[in-house]
Structure 1
Amino acid sequence: MPHVVIIGRPNVGKSTLFNRLVGKKLALVDDQPGVTRDRRFGDAELLGLAFTIVDTAGWEDDDPSSLPGRMRAQTEAALEGATVALFVIDARAGLTPLDEEIGRHLHESSVPVVLLANKAEGRAGDSGLFESYALGFGDPIAFSAEHGEGLADLFQALLPLIGEPEEEEERSEDEPEYDPKSVLKLAVVGRPNAGKSTLINRLLGEDRLLTGPEAGITRDSIAVDWEWRDPATGESRPIRLIDTAGMRKKAQVVDKLERLSVADARRAIDFAEVVVLLLDATRGLEHQDLKIASMVLEEGRALMIAINKWDVAEDASGLFNGVRAALDDGLAQVRGLPLVAVSARTGKGLDQMLGAAFSLRDAWSRRVPTAALNRWFDDALTANPPPAPGGRRIKLRYITQAKTRPPGFVLFGTRLDMLPESYRRYLVNGIRRELGFDAVPIRLTLRSPKNPFA
């Protein structure tokens, strides 16, 4: 698939263009400059032309060790291997010295360049459009990413550089519901500065995501496709790693951009199958971590906990046991969540974490045969019959599994509105313990027959 990279200084509309081409609001957009920090990939389609579009951070002229300088390095890395570069300028602001510097850099590269004069709706952008000829990239395209103007001209410019799209093979509609060898969608969440981006960079073996000592560097949720070689079997397993913005206490989030970043992280959790909640070993388990964990479980995702920075942890054994006890106490609905100690700096425990993530997804996707489920159900009722409030017995007739991912069960019986919550927990814990669901969230719905005389 051809790679088309969007390049430009901050606040010229690169992320708006990205969203326009992928047809979804995937990238965060705001009036302030410098919102995008990491490369974001998306599947774009323009009048039948299919390609991968890459959003990048705004190009800034700063010290390479500074945050803007490291962002620029990420943008330069995106150009390597690109098929086409879309050089975006702000037609209303006109040409700037930074635009000219970016132009010089692009002339030195071997990547073909298409010049987009964005924000050119109306006549306010005419002067900037004419000025852009001085950059030496031929005729600029008058464009409006906000309003979708100029898409046909962009198509004509990309067509000779990308070529006709290959036709996709038709997918069978009879694909199995769950394939254990399918891509694992794994999101990494946690408080700011827990080391989420550093951990993903360690797995990838490259500085794919922007990192540093500053808290809150990551803003967009970034997905990266990767192959992990399972050391136990030697098998390659596909994983989509999803990095997310750090989640602070709601009362501390006052900046609009941070609110957008947290909302994007929550959407990433919805998209994921397994979520790794990353803790900082130097800070231990905090109340905010339990709130994030509860949110993940409420969304029905499979959850595991990883304690990062284990190489610098003090009293490691005491810390691990303390976190284990606090999790079992604070998340009593899913006792026994997988807990691993890792170090994004040294790579310790990362293979163990990924192996546990695949096992957890298997449990999250598990379907129990109806016969086996009701054998367990009969044994559970015999061992602990339901109570009889007011002297009238609650009749539990049978149970069935309605769905997977997360597992959902429907319990049929009479007087179910009188069933105590403690007995409901007894059944859920039994399903989890006896039927191989481990510590995944389970939904149990109670259903009574309708009264025909009501």
Structure 2
Amino acid sequence: MLPQVVIIGRPNVGKSTLFNRLVGKKLALVDDQPGVTRDRRFGDVELLGLKFQIVDTAGWEDEDAHSLPGRMRQQTEAALVGAAAALFVIDSRTGLTPLDEEIARYLQRSSVPITVVANKAEGKAGDAGIYEAFSLGFGDPVAMSAEHGEGVADLFEALLPTLEPLQPEKPEFEPFEDDEEKPLGPLQLAIVGRPNAGKSTLINQFLQEDRLLTGPEAGITRDSIAIDWTWHDPKSGEDRAVKLIDTAGMRKRAKVTDKLEKLAVADARHAVDYAEVVVLLLDATKGLEVQDLKIASHAIEEGRALIIAINKWDVAEDPSGLFNGIRAALDEGLAQARGVPLVAVSARTGKGLDNLLNAAFETREIWNKRVPTAALNRWFDDALAANPPPAPGGKRIKLRYITQTGARPPRFVVFGTRLDHLPESYRRYLVNGLRRDLGFGSVPVRLMMRTPKNPFAKN
């Protein structure tokens, strides 16, 4: 395990900018308005050879514990537990504020080593704030410009005495890797849906802790947050690795006018693109809406394996009728993924969560499936014999053979002649046959047509 370093400070001092600078990627959403970050975000850092995990937190605010800012502060306080060090970020251009001094008093009661980072110190505009930072009682402040990358070496020197003894040991030798196919890694499971469907509550129920910020307010989640977790499968008795990805709620595009919400939705779509299995969470009290079908279609278009989960099942009216109605609507509205797994869950009580995870692992296995070329072409010959391709204009379309070119999602190429004249209906016939006869079910299947070049054709 890498030692953890937590970034703490009041809103809008540049914590997320510093986080992005240290991880070397724009993972955290950044905007001029305060309070963008709400949940803790983790990233691995290698700073001049020093390895650690950095934790971005919400801006510290002095609010009632039951309010949204108060609950965000509780998440920040929880991040300090078990941390190896903390970076207390101030705005050197603004100088110390009463809230900075309140945070300092709280941190002085902590046993975690504190380094003050005087951010936005480019030029001389921040000199006064840097000198003020000495009064906080945490030693020499580190003058930085997270936006421009200035002061990184000074930060390294400040963290080195604390983190160097905690560095992971290097292996004496690298393990030999043979040519056998590597086993699958952690299941990349993204939870998506409309605002207030219960996505963060579902992940908290998986983890059995209040890891993500939740509440009655819609649209609490902004950043897509990835959390490594181990699920104990009661069916097999095995421990299985999962990377849970929480995402911002996706509203109709016409309703998304705020710049920050646009960034959050774009981040959620990005998370879908890199997931293996996408769980679309529906609200049982609202049923299936057009926006849900649009979210599902996006996941399918990106080639992700899809599962539909109906949340708030514990308060659903007429559960049987609701389930059957959603099943019928999905089969009609998602013809390209007919039979997509549908699971009833309750994020509040934990009902159906093991069924959901079993379905996710089974769906990923299908999504990764490969069919031997010989078996694939036996199926192909039978499909052509049962329903030969048409002959438009009296000229035959010859389909010679098929091969699988990849998985994740399954991809196939059919070779033949005059394939540009093959009707779309026949292509759908082949795709449906692949799903039905070769066990690909509802996962996205890509089928391409390729005609070999004629070496004697005139240029």
TM-score normalised to structure 2 length: 0.97
- Provide the residue aligned with 2:307 in structure 1: 304
Q: Name stretches of at least 5 consecutive residues in structure 1 with no aligned partner.
A: none
- Provide the residue aligned with 2:43 in structure 1: 42
SS in 2 for 1:401: strand
Native 8 Å contact 1:198 1:209 kept in 2:
yes
Cα displacement string for residues 117-171 of structure 1 (whole angstroms, at most 9, x for unaligned residues): 0000111101111111111001101111001111111101111100164336646
How far apart, in 2, do the equivalents of 1:110 and 1:308 lie? Answer: 41
Amino acid at match of 1:23: G
Q: Name stretches of at least 5 consecutive residues in structure 2 with no aligned partner.
A: none
2:240 pairs with 1:237: yes
SS in 1 for 2:161: helix
Native 8 Å contact 1:178 1:365 kept in 2:
no
How far the C-alpha of 1:172 sits from its partner, in A, is 5.3
How far apart, in 1, do the equivalents of 2:360 and 2:37 lie? Answer: 29
2:389 pairs with 1:386: yes
How far apart, in 1, do the equivalents of 2:193 and 2:176 lie? Answer: 38
How far apart, in 1, do the equivalents of 2:175 and 2:329 lie? Answer: 46
How far apart, in 1, do the equivalents of 2:319 and 2:437 lie? Answer: 32
2:351 pairs with 1:348: yes
2:178 pairs with 1:191: no
How far the C-alpha of 1:315 sits from its partner, in A, is 1.0
Change over 3 Å in CA distance of 1:301–1:325 after alignment to 2: same
Q: Tell me how many residue pairs correspond in the alignment.
A: 453
2:210 pairs with 1:207: yes
How far the C-alpha of 1:436 sits from its partner, in A, is 1.6
Cα displacement string for residues 345-392 of structure 1 (whole angstroms, at most 9, x for unaligned residues): 111110000000000000000011000100110111111111111111
2:285 pairs with 1:282: yes
Amino acid at match of 2:160: L
Change over 3 Å in CA distance of 1:239–1:413 after alignment to 2: same
Residue 331 (structure 1) aligned to one of 331, 334, 354: 334
- Provide the residue aligned with 1:179 in structure 2: 183
How far apart, in 2, do the equivalents of 1:171 and 1:21 lie? Answer: 29
Amino acid at match of 1:197: S
SS in 2 for 1:381: helix
Amino acid at match of 1:233: S
How far apart, in 1, do the equivalents of 2:318 and 2:397 lie? Answer: 50
- Provide the residue aligned with 1:96 in structure 2: 97
How far the C-alpha of 1:173 sits from its partner, in A, is 5.7
Mapping for residues 23-42 of structure 1, pairs under 5 Å: 23-42=24-43
- Provide the residue aligned with 2:264 in structure 1: 261
How far apart, in 1, do the equivalents of 2:88 and 2:175 lie? Answer: 36
How far the C-alpha of 1:225 sits from its partner, in A, is 0.6
Amino acid at match of 2:287: G
Mapping for residues 14-93 of structure 1, pairs under 5 Å: 14-93=15-94
SS in 2 for 1:163: helix
Percent identity reads: 76
- Provide the residue aligned with 1:449 in structure 2: 452
- Provide the residue aligned with 1:159 in structure 2: 160
Residue 427 (structure 1) aligned to one of 420, 426, 430: 430
Amino acid at match of 2:438: L
- Provide the residue aligned with 2:324 in structure 1: 321
Residue 371 (structure 1) aligned to one of 362, 374, 378: 374
Cα displacement string for residues 261-316 of structure 1 (whole angstroms, at most 9, x for unaligned residues): 00100111111100000000011000000000010011101001000000111111
Amino acid at match of 2:114: V
How far the C-alpha of 1:449 sits from its partner, in A, is 1.2
How far apart, in 1, do the equivalents of 2:16 and 2:410 lie? Answer: 37
Cα displacement string for residues 78-112 of structure 1 (whole angstroms, at most 9, x for unaligned residues): 00000000000000000000000100111001000
How far the C-alpha of 1:451 sits from its partner, in A, is 2.4
How far apart, in 2, do the equivalents of 1:332 and 1:408 lie? Answer: 19
Amino acid at match of 2:130: L
Amino acid at match of 2:318: D
SS in 2 for 1:152: helix
Change over 3 Å in CA distance of 1:221–1:170 after alignment to 2: farther
How far apart, in 1, do the equivalents of 2:31 and 2:360 lie? Answer: 35
SS in 2 for 1:397: strand
SS in 1 for 2:214: coil
How far apart, in 1, do the equivalents of 2:24 and 2:176 lie? Answer: 25
Amino acid at match of 1:230: D
SS in 2 for 1:87: strand
- Provide the residue aligned with 1:136 in structure 2: 137
How far apart, in 2, do the equivalents of 1:233 and 1:348 lie? Answer: 19
Residue 255 (structure 2) aligned to one of 252, 257, 260: 252
2:294 pairs with 1:291: yes
SS in 2 for 1:260: helix
How far apart, in 1, do the equivalents of 2:445 and 2:370 lie? Answer: 12
SS in 2 for 1:30: coil
How far apart, in 2, do the equivalents of 1:172 and 1:71 lie? Answer: 45
How far apart, in 1, do the equivalents of 2:448 and 2:285 lie? Answer: 41
Amino acid at match of 2:183: D
How far the C-alpha of 1:176 sits from its partner, in A, is 5.0
How far apart, in 1, do the equivalents of 2:180 and 2:44 lie? Answer: 24
How far the C-alpha of 1:177 sits from its partner, in A, is 4.7
Amino acid at match of 2:135: A
How far apart, in 2, do the equivalents of 1:177 and 1:242 lie? Answer: 26
SS in 2 for 1:122: coil
Change over 3 Å in CA distance of 1:219–1:175 after alignment to 2: farther
How far apart, in 1, do the equivalents of 2:413 and 2:35 lie? Answer: 49
- Provide the residue aligned with 2:440 in structure 1: 437
Q: Which of 74-83 and 421-430 deviates more?
A: 421-430
SS in 2 for 1:36: coil
